[in-house]
Amino acid sequence: MINNFQPIPKNFLSKPIYHRTYLINGELKEWNGKYDEVYSTISCTEVYAPTLIGTIPHLSKTEALEALEAALNAFGKGNGLWATMSVKNRIEIFEKFTEQMKTKREEIVRLMMWEIGKTINESQKEFDRTIEYINNTIDAYKQLDRDSANFQKKDGIYAHIRRGPLGVVLCMGPYNYPLNESFALIIPALLMGNTVIYKPPKYGVLLITPLLEIFKECFPKGVINILFGRGKEIATPILETGRVDILAFIGNSHSAIALQDKHPHKNRLRLILGLEAKNPAIILPDADLNLAISECISGALTFNGQRCTALKIIYLHNDIKKHFLSEFTKKVDNLPFGNPWDANVMLTPLPEPRKPDYIQELIDDATAKGAKILNKNGGKRYNNYIFPAVLAPVTPDMRVYQEEQFGPVVPIRFFSDIEEVRQEIADSQYGQQVSIFGKSIDTLAPLIDTMVNLVCRVNINSLCQRGPDIFPFTGRKDSAVGTLSVYDALRSFSIRTFVAFKDNKSNDEIFENILKTGASHFIRTDYIL
Ligand code: G3H
């Protein structure tokens, strides 16, 4: 076991945060029960030991149901202050929230580095991207509102059509983007007039705590409720009541299925799920190899491969494998490993203590079945890390072929006939994205035409990624339910609802008066600037 101890620079030292409150019904309640300790896998001592960075309330079913009651009351059977509030006022609240959130950047970035080991640059990017996401969502919402500010007429019937909230949303985000992916659910859910219960992930939980006071100050009571504890203990009782309208969850499909199964009226539960993926890179014989190598390294190993969009298997054409692999393995071996605040570091400690053992299991299984570790440093064990192993040739009977590794290991599969690759991707249980590297349009064009029917984003000569966030982000099969993007998320968290009336003198008068007096927040034709 390699000891990678580095003294922690003074400005990045972390004092434990003993967080005591949770947010229900506009009140920060002090918890007097059990607490969970939060550890970072980064060691502060020369002899390796995880660092205690704080404690967090371990809430129970009682508080979970209290939060549900608060969210239901705030929605008020469709008559709550938030659901009926004018679009303008809702936007003003978001603008105030965003301004205050910006003041917490440094604190949140520091916690992100300690809790999940994300590099300082990537942590800052995640924070800034979240602020941008909120601002873009507000703009998209204004546009949605403008587009609906009119009446349509057909067969003598007028219709004023908008999108309305569904009710109560249970949001649960993942540890790899604890801020951004959670907010990519919470923000559109709230903006459309729903009320929310949010449970942060197990890792990346303390970094939410600086925002609790701001949520409390900005939003009307019960509109957003924030709970801490175990998913099973909190989400299960909430769903069992059958009173949640949307489950917005990013994680794995086993948990998603277990959660939705708790709801007694499945037809009433809308699902917005971001699940596992195994995005392949296909390297064709005429690919620009320098470009393919650098994109595959970023694609497979940015944040140690802990991205749902990471390249998790590489299909490499036999004609170019020698050249590709000699460069690729050298470059992987030279990737700098260190703590998240170290300059230019790319590989960082894994936040899940069991992850190095899991990756080791994948490597052992693959090598027992005939694969080799092609790079010198591949599989080197540290106290909180396992250096990325480039594994080849990978075959379908290996676990690393079947499972989403979500960590630092790069499986490589060789091919001669593109048809084999096409079949495998079609048979895979995943369907998020693919990256294709090549130049000949004779090969590319037909491949694109099939791949768009097997995954939901085909990247040509570049890695897979979610951004820019205005593009649709979704997946087929076990990879997602529903579509997220700045614009699509507003649709996912709402439903079309409209007011209709026959065109006659008396009705026309009623609606002219409603418009003139501004008596309704729903029936309006004003243009929001
Ligand atoms: O973990 C899944 C993220 O949505 C991926 O986002 O492609 O921007 O890293 P990214």
Does ligand 1 come within 6 angstroms of the Cβ of 466?
yes
pLDDT (0 to 100) of residue 132: 98
8 A C-beta contact, residue 119 and residue 138: no
- Residue given tokens 């873009």 in the structure block: 136
Q: For 395-425, how does the pLDDT look when each residue is reduced to its tens digit (9 = 90+)? A: 999 999 999 999 999 999 999 999 999 999 9
Going by C-alpha positions, the residue among 447, 441, 445 that lies closest to residue 421 is 447
Does ligand 1 come within 6 angstroms of the Cβ of 302?
no
Nearest-CA residue for ligand 1 atom 4 is 466
Evaluate if residue 40 carries a pLDDT over 90. Answer: yes
Lookup: tokens for 171: 């949001």
Q: How far is the CA of 282 from the centre of ligand 1 (A)?
A: 20
- Give Cβ neighbours of residue 457 (< 8 Å, ≥ 6 apart): 432, 433, 434, 464, 471, 472, 473
Does ligand 1 come within 6 angstroms of the Cβ of 465?
yes
Interatomic CA distance for residues 203 and 213, integer angstroms = 21
| pTM, two decimal places | 0.97
Does ligand 1 come within 6 angstroms of the Cβ of 492?
no
8 A C-beta contact, residue 276 and residue 430: yes
Does ligand 1 come within 6 angstroms of the Cβ of 176?
yes
Does ligand 1 come within 6 angstroms of the Cβ of 485?
no
Q: For 50-101, how does the pLDDT look when each residue is reduced to its tens digit (9 = 90+)? A: 999 999 999 999 999 999 999 999 999 999 999 999 999 999 999 999 999 9
Interatomic CA distance for residues 437 and 468, integer angstroms = 20
DSSP 196: E
- Give Cβ neighbours of residue 497 (< 8 Å, ≥ 6 apart): 161, 162, 163, 164
Q: For 159-181, how does the pLDDT look when each residue is reduced to its tens digit (9 = 90+)? A: 999 999 999 999 999 999 999 99
Evaluate if residue 440 carries a pLDDT over 90. Answer: yes
Q: How far is CA 26 from the centre of its chain?
A: 26
Lookup: tokens for 475: 């997946």
Interatomic CA distance for residues 273 and 341, integer angstroms = 32
Cross-strand pairs, 484: 473
Q: What share of the chain has pLDDT > 90, as a percent?
A: 98
A 10 A CB-CB count for 65 gives 16
Q: For 317-337, how does the pLDDT look when each residue is reduced to its tens digit (9 = 90+)? A: 999 999 999 999 999 999 999
Lookup: tokens for 225: 């409720």
The atom of ligand 1 lying closest to the CA of 181 is 4
pLDDT (0 to 100) of residue 4: 83
Cross-strand pairs, 247: 170, 271
Evaluate if residue 274 carries a pLDDT over 90. Answer: yes
Interatomic CA distance for residues 78 and 246, integer angstroms = 15
Q: How far is the CA of 310 from the centre of ligand 1 (A)?
A: 8
Establish whether the linkage from the previous residue to 393 is cis, with ω within 30° of 0. yes
Nearest-CA residue for ligand 1 atom 7 is 465
Q: How far is the CA of 304 from the centre of ligand 1 (A)?
A: 13
8 A C-beta contact, residue 303 and residue 126: no
Does ligand 1 come within 6 angstroms of the Cβ of 308?
yes
pLDDT (0 to 100) of residue 5: 87
pLDDT (0 to 100) of residue 503: 98
